[in-house]
Amino acid sequence: MDKCTRKLSLCQRASYQIEVVGHLDVNKVTWFEGLTLAVGYGEDGTPITIMTGEVLDQSALHGLLTVIRDLGLPLLAVNRITSVEENASDAR
């Protein structure tokens, strides 16, 4: 399938990478269960938490972003890595 004809839908499962400023303490990590968390540092030494993993759909993604906002974590980036449909078609 041509990449130009693939469409992103609201109910499509996909993998995302979300970056926020700061370290997450143990109590906050439980909000992001199922995602892989890694800590890196910006050029100025600011800690950056990188969350990577599969998200059920756009509604679940918005839920994660709401939790990030409610925890007061400054959002740096949200990147869709792949969708499950893209992985399935690439394996064929």
Supply the DSSP symbol for 73. Answer: P
Percent of the chain with pLDDT over 90: 61
- Output the pLDDT for position 3: 47
- CA distances in angstroms from 83 to 38, 56, 57, listed in the order given: 21, 10, 10
Supply the mean pLDDT for the chain. Answer: 83
Q: Where are the domains of the chain?
A: 13-91
Q: Which is more confidently placed, 22 or 87? A: 22
CATH number of 13-91: 3.30.70
48 has a pLDDT exceeding 70: yes
Measured in degrees and rounded to the nearest 5, phi and psi for residue 76 equal: -100, -45
Predicted model pTM:
0.78
